[in-house]
Amino acid sequence: MIESKRQKLDEEERKITVIAHPNIALIKYWGKASEAEMIPLNDSISLAVNYFHAKTTLIARKVEKGEEIGDTVSINGKDVGLNSRFHRVFKSVRDKLDCQWSFTVSSSTNFPVAAGLASSAAGFAAIAFALGKTFDLPEHDIVRLARYGSGSASRSVLSGLVQWKKGNDKTESHVVSHFSADHWPELRLVIIVVKDEEKALSSKEGMERTAKTSELLQDRIRRNQERINLIISAFSSHDFPSLAELIMRDSNEMHAVCLDSYPPIQYLNATSWSIINFVHSFNKESVRAAYTFDAGPNACIFTLKEHVNELYDRVTSTFSKGKEVKDVYISELGQGPQIDN
Amino acid sequence: MIESKRQKLDEEERKITVIAHPNIALIKYWGKASEAEMIPLNDSISLAVNYFHAKTTLIARKVEKGEEIGDTVSINGKDVGLNSRFHRVFKSVRDKLDCQWSFTVSSSTNFPVAAGLASSAAGFAAIAFALGKTFDLPEHDIVRLARYGSGSASRSVLSGLVQWKKGNDKTESHVVSHFSADHWPELRLVIIVVKDEEKALSSKEGMERTAKTSELLQDRIRRNQERINLIISAFSSHDFPSLAELIMRDSNEMHAVCLDSYPPIQYLNATSWSIINFVHSFNKESVRAAYTFDAGPNACIFTLKEHVNELYDRVTSTFSKGKEVKDVYISELGQGPQIDN
């Protein structure tokens, strides 16, 4: 094994293309215990959005001693400045290798980036997975690299129902998949991209403010393990009504601690609230849908295959495209990253 | 004393006119321990809005045995149906008296009713105060009668900084004034009545849902006494920045537990959020204003005499009347009910 790794490391240039999906948390990650190590304050648990993906090509080139390392990243054809997250990921992988490498990353997505649709989760999961496959890194390192890019990206490294266990330091913080995607293949997601003119606070800044100022956050953290266990149990027994209520309550609670921050943080806008009320009315007879909102106004609505067409039709007839809503997508759930041949 | 009371009770008809003010809570009342006895889940503390008042005339008529009791209430010239709150107040006072009386109440207000401006607090405080003065009831009974009409009305029976101590039963639940209104006469309130087309959930229903479903509410209740003490201490030392932060945080927290209810409750609309952001920007250099929101989108902004004109001007130039905002008022704070001669 060591022989073959050495051999690989001797190659001058390596190229790989991978596909990774964003994920939607059923129990949200909100607040960090450590920014440097990207350790969260609570466990989170998610499912991948199969329909959306980042397709990422990584070219790794060996760098001679004294030669400058020139990493580059482009997203959808546009060069992006390398912020500290990219530096942290690339530095971390270089620290593990015997000699210096530079990285060229070009990524394209089939969904809008910077629209609050977890594009950075898909993007960093793809980069971490590509680096891992290129240098034969163990899963634990791939997950850590993804996390260094974006906390929630670590959940996109696995498939199925994925829990990010916070752990107490960088070696403990890890992800685990409780069920593969085919445990509950009927699950579907209807994603509503909300038209939004307001500039939202970034997740990073929002989390920092909440962690520093919200007193209710402590109560949320105390309940975290119980909620995670309830999600796993509802998922295990295909109990959609229980799963749905847990998902909606967690989303509400996350936005409640945002509102309890000082100054208060608002991610839900009037359309988000209309969607919340719409889902509760859709559920009037029986619970068939569950909304969840990340750090923005867009809604992800979980449902089952048998209800997805009715839900989609009622969403698109209730919310006029172009006015309140930009786009509505349907997706299956749960796939992990793959190498694209 | 008993003689004089007896004498009074022998009169056939009595008439009194009183003026009472609504109050704005700095620490909100949200959630009941007992609906029947109107016992709250937490203490609250408030100041009266002097500029607004309910002017209420009570006519009490002795009823002969066998004669039907015909209570009536009119508000701003319109007869209102006697709901269970009026019945509870009138029954409670009749139970204390030696013979039967019927009550005719006519109330007028100088501010919009049913606009979320605590009109019921002013109205029931006026009725309770009028009944108390008519029948020489002790303060404790007046407070209880007001509370039976509307929980927060009990705070309008006293003046200055008034705390409603929840107590554990109807005899323990009481109000106390920590400071008279002249302890801090520079305090002012700018009240923004927000244009609102949405029908809000009543406070009663909202409180019930929060008490039944919000898990974060328990955390809010745990912190209640500490917050009340901090308010009293900031008020005592005329520490406006501390008072302001406590007021804003409590408002945020109340709306956070509303959002944490299931289904979630929204009282703040887009204009409310614009006002929140406006106040934080007004406070950029130094904390000179504090917003608070009850169960509706209207904002009450506390400030000091020296800043009130600038605040008013900036509010009225930022929020266009007729578009986002209906009316903006300025008031002094702290007066209790008076008999109108």
Q: What is the pLDDT of residues A94-111, one digit of tens each?
A: 999 988 999 999 999 998
How many inter-chain contacts (A to B, CB under 8 Å) are there? 67
Segment B134-177, tens digit of pLDDT? 999 999 999 999 999 999 999 999 999 999 999 988 889 999 99
> In chain A, what is the straight-line distance between the N-terminal and C-terminal CA atoms, in Å?
24
Instruction: Please name the member of A216, A266, A277 whose beta carbon is closest to the beta carbon of B273.
Output: A266
> What is the CATH number that goes with domain B2-182?
3.30.230.10
Query: Residues of B with CB below 8 A from A218's CB?
Result: 219
Query: Residues of A with CB below 8 A from B245's CB?
Result: 262
pLDDT of residue A1: 41
Exposed, middle or buried by CB within 10 Å (0-12, 13-18, 19+), for B281? exposed
What is this model's ipTM?
Answer: 0.92
Segment B297-324, tens digit of pLDDT? 999 999 999 999 999 999 999 998 888 9
Among B193, B279, B17, B239, CA closest to A262 = B279
Exposed, middle or buried by CB within 10 Å (0-12, 13-18, 19+), for B16? middle
Residues of chain A with pLDDT under 70: 1-10, 114-116
3-state DSSP assignment of residue B24: strand
Q: Does domain A2-183 have CATH number 3.30.230.10?
A: yes
> In chain B, where are the structural domains located?
2-182, 187-332
Among A303, A283, A39, CA closest to A174 = A39
Chain B: give the shortest CA distance to residue A302, in Å: 16
Residues of chain B with pLDDT under 50: 1-3, 6
**Which tokens belong to B90?**
């009138």
pLDDT of residue B168: 87
Chain A: give the shortest CA distance to residue B295, in Å: 15
pLDDT of residue A200: 80
At the second CATH level, the architecture of A187-332 is 2-Layer Sandwich (3.30)
Rounded Cα distance, B213 and A159, in Å = 33
Which H helix or E strand runs over A14? strand A13-20
pLDDT of residue B7: 52
Rounded Cα distance, A185 and A333, in Å = 8
Which H helix or E strand runs over B129? helix B119-134
Rounded Cα distance, B50 and A17, in Å = 70
**Which tokens belong to B170?**
């109807």
Residue of B nearest to A247 (CA): B262
Rounded Cα distance, A213 and A263, in Å = 8
